[in-house]
Amino acid sequence: MLKLIVTDMDGTLLNSNREISPGNAAALMAAQRQGVEIAIATGRIYENARGLCQRAGFNPHIISNHGAFAYTKDGEQLLGVGIDKSHVKNAITWLTDNHYFYNLCTDRHSYIPASTADILSNDFHAAKSLIPDVTAGRVQQVIQIYQKMDGRTLIDKLDDLLEQGLAFGSITSITFDQEKLRRGREYFGAYPGLALSIAGRDIFELINPTVSKGKALEKLTNHLHLPMNEVMAIGDNYNDISMLERVGISVAIGNAEEDVKKICKHVSLSNDQNGVAHIINKLLKL
C-alpha cells in the first residue's frame, strides 16, 4: 500500500518555467485526501521550497539542500547537517578566484554575490564551448531566478557571513562553459571533506559527505513510522538516485537522465507534461 509520495522539484515537479502546474498540485492534494503523505526532496533551500508549495496550495514535508535538512509539514526540523566552515571558506575562495557563480545556502537563506548578474553574463560570453541548449535567454532566466528567489541575500564579504554561526547545508555553482564545468566538477570531486552532487547539465553542488536525499528520506520515514516499501519516489537526476534506490516504487520522470531511468521501476511523462500527476493518477487510480 502506498503511504508516502516524495518528489524532486527542479526537472520533476516543476515545469520548464520553474512552476508547479495546477495538474501536478491537484494530483498531490488528491493523494493527501486519500491519506497519503506528501514530501518534497530538493536541492533548493527549505524556505524557497515551502514558498513554492504554499503558493500551489499544498503543505508537504520537506527535505532540502540535497538532504542536509529535513522538516515535517508542521515545520519541525528532523535533520540538520552543515558543511565544515573551513571547507565553506576554501570552496567559496576557489570559486571566486576562478570566476564561478556560487550560491551558499542555509536551510532558510540563499547567499549569492552582489555581482551575480555580471558573473553569469560574463561566464556565458567568455565560454569557449557552451553547454548544449544554453542560449542568452537561458542565461537571463537563471539570473532572474536567483534575483527573485525566496530567502535570497546579496553578499560582498564571505568572512562576515562565516562569523554568524550559520549552518551551511550546500553550495551551488553554475557555469555555461563545458570546459569550466568539467574543471569545477573534477576539482571538487577530489576535494576531501565535500561531496559533489549533480542535479543538472550546467550545475554542480557541494554538500557534507554524510548527506544524501536517501538518508534524509530514511529519517523522515522513521519519524512517520513508514516502511520504505510503501514509499514512491519521483526524480530526474543523479542526486535523486540515493532515494530512488531505497523505495518500493521508483519513478523516473520522462525527461530524466538515462542512468536514472535504468534504475527505476516506472518511467512517467516529462515535467512539462505533468509527469508527476500522470504517475500518481495512474497508480492511485484517481
| CATH code of the domain containing 9 | 3.40.50.1000
Whichever domain contains 172, its CATH number is 3.30.1240.10
Residue 198 shares a structural domain with residue 97: yes
Residue 90 shares a structural domain with residue 203: yes
271 C-beta neighbours (distance < 10 Å), count: 25
| Boundary residue ending a domain (162, 179, 207) | 207
The grid coordinates of residue 180 equal 569550466
Residue 97 shares a structural domain with residue 154: yes
Residue 45 shares a structural domain with residue 94: no
| Boundary residue ending a domain (152, 180, 207) | 207
Domain carrying residue 96: 85-207
The grid coordinates of residue 110 equal 540563499
Residue 137 shares a structural domain with residue 277: no
Residue 203 shares a structural domain with residue 215: no
Per-residue burial over 22-44, b if 16 or more Cβ lie within 10 Å, else e, is: ebbbbbbeebbeeebbbbbbbbb
Residue 160 shares a structural domain with residue 21: no
pTM of the model: 0.90
The confidence score (pLDDT) of residue 286 equals 66
Residue 203 shares a structural domain with residue 89: yes
The confidence score (pLDDT) of residue 25 equals 98
Residue 215 shares a structural domain with residue 202: no
Q: Which residues of the chain have pLDDT under 50?
A: none
Residue 200 shares a structural domain with residue 218: no
- The H or E element spanning position 180 is helix 178-189
| Boundary residue ending a domain (180, 207, 234) | 207
- Could you report the per-residue pLDDT of 125-161, keeping only the tens digit for each? 999 899 998 999 999 999 998 888 777 888 887 888 8
Q: Are 31 and 284 in contact (CB under 8 A)?
A: yes
Residue 54 shares a structural domain with residue 159: no
The confidence score (pLDDT) of residue 164 equals 87
Residue with cell 506528501: 38
Largest CA distance in the chain: 54
The grid coordinates of residue 16 equal 520548464
- How many domains does the chain fold into? 2
Residue 160 shares a structural domain with residue 98: yes
